[in-house]
Chain A
Amino acid sequence: MSAANKEIRPPVIELGVMGWLRKNLFSNWYNSLLTIFGLYFLYILIPPLVNWIFLDANFVGSTRDDCTNEGACWIFIQQNIKLIFYGLYPTEELWRINFVYLILFISGVYLLIPNLKHKGWVGAFLLIVFPIICVVMLSGGLGLEAVETRLWGGLFLTLVIAGVGIVLSLPIGVMLALGRRSKLPVVSLLCTIFIEIWRGVPLITVLFMASNMFPLFMPEGVNFDKLIRALIGVMFFSAAYLAEVVRGGLQAMPKGQYEASQAVGLTYWRMMALVILPQSLKMVIPAIIGSFIAIFKDTTLVLVIGLFDFLGIIQFVGTNPDWLGFSHEGYVFAAAVFWVFCYAMSWYSQRLEKKLDTGR
């Protein structure tokens, strides 16, 4: 055996941790400089933040006087946790909200676990029965005490607005997208105008419109609840954005799919429901979830028309004379909660995208 055939190991410097460091952080002089700069940046940013949030923070106590350490005063959040999560909802009725959460949680977990039977039924239950349960449980009726929506607030209200916005805007968005692609000029024109108007204006003006103009549109005596007005605004606004996303999917469908469905004699609605929409919606799932994330973040805007959503209530709690000066804690907490929700959605969408990528 000659020496040339013998396996020559690469130099130590190109292997393992050393090799990785060299390749990814110190490949040449300016990369090394950038690495050092980056490390310094992290050094001035991370330790003070960790100290403030965890190491020097105050976790036990009941009043602001218990906050003796340098860092964050999480007692502020602890003491107001009921307000932050449920708003002014009566304490003895809180089980109703929790019950709804529980149903949602159980069915959600059931749907997420792979290879279980009867998922279709659970899905149908969530879409048809669950909303009715929500309305009855949350606002009252059937022997339950009525709870006015002005008492709703906190994270609960945020979830209600985002949930209703998401669930109702998707079907409307699909209809608008189909309408815009329709061969009937009047339908297509009307849908285009509708979509472009909602997409062209900021949500805040939509909410102003909902709170100031909707009452003028209604006949005498009909008065909408403030929350419902906001919900209608959010719903149409996000439906217009979803319509454009769905339209993207419809446009990406190969023409052959349309022609093949027509060749086997499917009517327009059957063709859409059985062939085109299932495929094109699958294609745009990441973009749809992106829109859902946007709706979730946009719900914070309802505070400008006087609804106390999660952010609104944190703003409000911060003005309590007993707890003045703790806005940092409030914002950091709110940011963390919003971030977890949004990041979870975007993570789920990436997972789904991989799972549904059934090669074509």
Chain B
Amino acid sequence: METDKSRIGSFLFNRSVQGVFYQLITLGLVALGIYYIVTNTARNMLERGLASGFHFLGVESQFDIGMTLIEYSPTSTYFDSFIVGLLNTLLVAGIGILFATIIGFTVGIMRLSSNWLIAKIAEAYVEILRNIPLLLQIFFWYFAVLRALPKPKQSLELYDSFFLNNRGLFIPDTVFGEGSSIIFYLLWLTIIISIGIFIWAKRRQNRTGERFPAFYVSTALILGTFFISLAVTGFPVSFEYPELKGFNFKGGVKLIPELVALTFALAMYTASFIAEVVRGGIMAVSKGQTEAAKSVGLKQNLILRLIIIPQALRVIVPPLTNQYLNLTKNSSLAAAIAYPDLVLVFAGTALMQTGQAIEIIGMVMGVYLFLSLFTSLIMNLFNRFMKVDGER
């Protein structure tokens, strides 16, 4: 009797038995919750006469989009509108990341400057911009700056080729004539050869200790081939400048004000975070590294290139990628100023017209989720690759 009881007791208080029990309860609760939501949703959708499924993607969308990177018209399908929105999101994210990186690195390095004034200006930039909501900054650039610009006739201009007015930013377009494809192929070819030169130079240095000026040679190769091929083919690449015709500009590339404002705000805001990442990364390289490098006789530029930057990058890259991801996600604020990004086009207009809330929001969230999971996968690989032996 006594032993039986204790056997049951030891069974009930066994750690792993308890574990299985708790997990079953959790799983049961979650399943119940999902079942509850699914049945409610199914009934609600039945009542509203909504058919679930993705058939709507093949239907004509019947709405137009202000800015498209691919062929699109109201007769295109909802799926086309999804692609248009996605491309617009990627476009604004790409340009934003480029500028945010440039501004962010500049400001981050400025904050470490030995010049007191420059360091303080950079600090003020960071402290002001990162403490003001991004949406407010986007509104400011869009409504208070770009919408308040003069009409096309009184545009602000730069070198007669860049024009800024309340219709947007007009920049020259590159026109590729006949024979320009040859130049592109040659460019790619020289780039591949240069990579080969770098690998060969590195191997040779490891083997013999002799240095080869790979950087200068490959730069000369790429630029030389580029210009010679340009001259030989008779300069098939030309620029088309925007021109004022009537009340608006014709020719060139037109960047709509929504795009300009959004890119500007995203770049300036994210740059304030990138600046902190860069500063932290450089400060994380201990002073002893610089001193040790000096004592073995490395020159200043080599200390930077071979000692400081590689170590700083290991610290900088993961949070930097995180900032890029944040910028991409923040580009969804486009919806507030009517830049036709994925959220506005698909989760806005298309959702309103079709009422397919679950499918559409699911697809939009899926895109962002894919981007962030993909990024963290790359980051994990990067961290594994960069791990120094013997480190925790």
Q: List the B side residues contacting A339 at CB < 8 Å.
A: 128, 131-132
Interface centre among A297, A318, A338, A342 (most CB of B within 10 A): A297
| A41-B336 Cα distance, complex, nearest whole Å | 32
A217 touches B41 (CB 8 A): yes
A15 adjacent to chain B (CB < 8 Å): no
A213 touches B361 (CB 8 A): yes
Nearest Cβ distance between residue A255 and chain B, in whole angstroms?
A: 13
| A41-B115 Cα distance, complex, nearest whole Å | 15
Q: List the B side residues contacting A346 at CB < 8 Å.
A: 131
Given contacts A187-B22, A216-B357, A297-B134, A205 and B139 within 8 Å (CB-CB): no
Interface with B: A31-39, A109-117, A123-131, which one? A31-39
A204 touches B335 (CB 8 A): yes
Q: List the B side residues contacting A13 at CB < 8 Å.
A: none
List the A residue with the shortest CB-CB distance to B120: A38
A303 touches B336 (CB 8 A): yes
A217 touches B131 (CB 8 A): no
B361 touches A186 (CB 8 A): no
Q: List the B side residues contacting A104 at CB < 8 Å.
A: none
| A108-B312 Cα distance, complex, nearest whole Å | 41
Given contacts A183-B19, A303-B336, A331-B144, A201 and B365 within 8 Å (CB-CB): yes
A184 touches B23 (CB 8 A): yes
A200 touches B373 (CB 8 A): yes
A75 adjacent to chain B (CB < 8 Å): no
B118 adjacent to chain A (CB < 8 Å): yes
Please encode chain B, from 121 to 154, with 1 for each CB lying within 8 Å of some chain A CB and 0 for all others: 1000001100111111001100110000000000
Q: List the A side residues contacting B364 at CB < 8 Å.
A: 205, 208
| A283-B310 Cα distance, complex, nearest whole Å | 29
A185 adjacent to chain B (CB < 8 Å): yes
Given contacts A38-B117, A187-B26, A208-B347, A201 and B368 within 8 Å (CB-CB): yes
Given contacts A331-B136, A338-B136, A199 and B372 within 8 Å (CB-CB): yes
A144 adjacent to chain B (CB < 8 Å): no
List the B residue with the shortest CB-CB distance to A204: B332
B27 adjacent to chain A (CB < 8 Å): yes
List the B residue with the shortest CB-CB distance to A31: B115
A196 adjacent to chain B (CB < 8 Å): yes
A186 touches B26 (CB 8 A): yes
Please encode chain A, from 167 to 208, with 1 for each CB lying within 8 Å of some chain B CB and 0 for all others: 000000000000000011111001000001101111011001
B333 adjacent to chain A (CB < 8 Å): yes
| A197-B362 Cα distance, complex, nearest whole Å | 11
B343 adjacent to chain A (CB < 8 Å): yes
Q: List the A side residues contacting B45 at CB < 8 Å.
A: 216
| A35-B135 Cα distance, complex, nearest whole Å | 33
CB-contacts of A299-356 with B (<8 A)? 300-301, 303-304, 311, 315, 318, 327-328, 331, 334-335, 338-339, 342-343, 346
B30 adjacent to chain A (CB < 8 Å): yes
What is the interface of chain A mostly: helix, strand, loop, or mixed?
A: helix
B302 adjacent to chain A (CB < 8 Å): no
| A194-B41 Cα distance, complex, nearest whole Å | 20
Q: List the A side residues contacting B254 at CB < 8 Å.
A: none
B40 adjacent to chain A (CB < 8 Å): yes
Please encode chain B, from 315 to 355, with 1 for each CB lying within 8 Å of some chain A CB and 0 for all others: 00000000000000110110110000001000100010000
Nearest Cβ distance between residue A213 and chain B, in whole angstroms?
A: 5
| A218-B140 Cα distance, complex, nearest whole Å | 38
| A301-B329 Cα distance, complex, nearest whole Å | 13
| A330-B109 Cα distance, complex, nearest whole Å | 33
Q: List the A side residues contacting B140 at CB < 8 Å.
A: 331, 335
Q: Tell which of B118, B127, B131, B139 touches A34, judged by Cβ atoms closer than 8 Å.
A: B118
Nearest Cβ distance between residue A168 and chain B, in whole angstroms?
A: 18
A209 adjacent to chain B (CB < 8 Å): yes
Nearest Cβ distance between residue B342 and chain A, in whole angstroms?
A: 9
A24 adjacent to chain B (CB < 8 Å): yes
Given contacts A200-B369, A218-B40, A301 and B135 within 8 Å (CB-CB): yes
| A216-B37 Cα distance, complex, nearest whole Å | 8
What is the interface of chain B mostly: helix, strand, loop, or mixed?
A: helix
Q: List the B side residues contacting A199 at CB < 8 Å.
A: 372
- Name A residues whose Cβ lies closer than 8 Å to a Cβ of B: 24-25, 27, 31, 34-35, 38-39, 41-42, 183-187, 190, 196-197, 199-202, 204-205, 208-209, 212-213, 215-220, 293, 297-298, 300-301, 303-304, 311, 315, 318, 327-328, 331, 334-335, 338-339, 342-343, 346
B44 adjacent to chain A (CB < 8 Å): yes
Q: Tell which of B44, B47, B132, B368 touches A202, judged by Cβ atoms closer than 8 Å.
A: B368
A selection of 7 A-B contacts at a CB cut-off of 8 Å is: A25-B117, A34-B118, A38-B118, A201-B369, A202-B368, A212-B357, A331-B140
Q: Tell which of B27, B30, B127, B369 touches A197, judged by Cβ atoms closer than 8 Å.
A: B369
Q: Tell which of B44, B47, B134, B347 touches A205, judged by Cβ atoms closer than 8 Å.
A: B347
B358 adjacent to chain A (CB < 8 Å): yes
Q: List the B side residues contacting A216 at CB < 8 Å.
A: 40-41, 44-45, 357-358
A201 touches B329 (CB 8 A): yes
B40 touches A217 (CB 8 A): yes
| A300-B269 Cα distance, complex, nearest whole Å | 15
B43 adjacent to chain A (CB < 8 Å): yes
Q: List the A side residues contacting B216 at CB < 8 Å.
A: none
Given contacts A184-B22, A201-B365, A300-B136, A327 and B372 within 8 Å (CB-CB): no
Q: List the B side residues contacting A200 at CB < 8 Å.
A: 365, 368-369, 371-373
Interface centre among A24, A27, A303 (most CB of B within 10 A): A24
Nearest Cβ distance between residue A316 and chain B, in whole angstroms?
A: 12
B131 touches A300 (CB 8 A): no
Given contacts A205-B332, A328-B144, A311 and B139 within 8 Å (CB-CB): yes
B300 adjacent to chain A (CB < 8 Å): no
Q: List the A side residues contacting B40 at CB < 8 Å.
A: 216-219
6 tightest Cβ-Cβ pairs between the two chains A and B:
A342-B131, A24-B116, A200-B372, A186-B23, A202-B329, A200-B369
B14 adjacent to chain A (CB < 8 Å): no
Please encode chain B, from 152 to 177, with 1 for each CB lying within 8 Å of some chain A CB and 0 for all others: 00000000000000000000000000
List the A residue with the shortest CB-CB distance to B331: A202
Seed contacts A184-B22, A331-B136; 6 additional CB < 8 Å A-B pairs: A186-B26, A212-B351, A298-B133, A301-B135, A338-B131, A339-B132
Q: Tell which of B132, B332, B351 touches A338, judged by Cβ atoms closer than 8 Å.
A: B132
B113 adjacent to chain A (CB < 8 Å): yes
Q: List the B side residues contacting A24 at CB < 8 Å.
A: 114-117
A204 touches B333 (CB 8 A): yes
B139 touches A315 (CB 8 A): yes
Q: List the A side residues contacting B22 at CB < 8 Å.
A: 184, 187
Nearest Cβ distance between residue A161 and chain B, in whole angstroms?
A: 13
List the A residue with the shortest CB-CB distance to B132: A335
Given contacts A184-B19, A208-B347, A217 and B361 within 8 Å (CB-CB): no
| A217-B128 Cα distance, complex, nearest whole Å | 41
Q: Tell which of A38, A186, A190, A219 touches B115, judged by Cβ atoms closer than 8 Å.
A: A38
